[in-house]
């Protein structure tokens, strides 16, 4: 079965620091990749997605992610975080022929002003 690993469970950064959150998945075939974000007290929402083409994907609020097929990775990055980026971030992978998405355990990001 497909699995998704997020290596960091809790990350604390100061404002303006750079961010990289790791995500690795286990499936070797064609995948669709997602990062979702859950701000405190809010619903899960899509941050960015990769289906095909350029492996460097840009999302909302200055986030980007790079798909490295050989490493089965889809790491999330942001060059300079803000206090408002404090949230929980979930990596997700779809490898099924129908609507089936596997999520990682999430990474809680705390940005200190």
Partner 1 sequence: ETGVTQTPRHLVMGMTNKKSLKCEQHLGHNAMYWYKQSAKKPLELMFVYSLEERVENNSVPSRFSPECPNSSHLFLHLHTLQPEDSALYLCASSQDTGLGPFGELFFGEGSRLTVL
Contact residues toward partner 1 (CB under 8 A) are 4, 9, 32, 34, 36, 42-46, 49, 51-52, 90, 94, 96, 98-106
For partner 1, the closer of residues 29 and 113 by Cβ is 29
Tally the C-alpha atoms within 13 A of residue 109's C-alpha that lie toward its C-beta: 29
**Alpha helix (H) residue ranges in 1-113:** none
As measured in angstroms, the least distance from the Cβ of 90 to partner 1 is 7
As measured in angstroms, the least distance from the Cβ of 32 to partner 1 is 5
Please state whether beta strands 107-112 and 10-14 pair in parallel, antiparallel, or not at all (unpaired): parallel
Q: What is the DSSP letter of 70?
A: G
For partner 1, the closer of residues 47 and 111 by Cβ is 47
Residue with tokens 């350029």: 54
As measured in angstroms, the least distance from the Cβ of 71 to partner 1 is 20
Cα–Cα dist 47/19, whole Å: 15
For partner 1, the closer of residues 28 and 53 by Cβ is 53
């Amino acid at each position: 079965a497909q699995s998704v690993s997020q290596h960091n469970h809790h990350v604390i950064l100061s404002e303006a620091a750079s961010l990289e959150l790791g995500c690795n998945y286990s499936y070797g075939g064609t995948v669709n990749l997602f990062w979702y974000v859950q701000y405190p007290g809010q619903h899960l929402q899509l941050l960015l997605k990769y289906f095909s083409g350029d492996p460097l994907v840009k999302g909302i609020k200055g986030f980007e992610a790079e798909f490295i097929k050989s490493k089965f990775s889809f790491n999330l990055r942001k060059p300079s975080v803000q206090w408002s980026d404090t949230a929980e971030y979930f990596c997700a992978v779809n490898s099924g022929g129908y609507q089936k998405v596997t999520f990682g355990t999430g990474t809680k990001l705390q940005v200190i002003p």
